[in-house]
Amino acid sequence: MSKVNHSCDPNSGIRVNETGAHDLVAICDIAVSEEITFDYAMRNYSVDHFPPKCLCGADKCRGRVTGWKDLPDEKKKEYAGFVAPYLLELDIKYDT
pLDDT (tens digit per residue) in 6-22: 999 999 999 999 998 99
DSSP element (H, E) containing 25: strand 22-26
Q: Which residues of 69-93 are buried (b: 16+ CB within 10 A; e: fewer)?
A: bebeeebbeebeebbbeebeebbee
Percent of the chain's residues with pLDDT above 90: 82
C-alpha dihedral sign at 65, 69, 74, 80: positive
Domain that holds residue 36: 5-94
pTM for the predicted model, two decimal places = 0.89
| Number of structural domains in the chain | 1
Average pLDDT, the chain: 92
pLDDT (tens digit per residue) in 77-88: 999 999 999 999
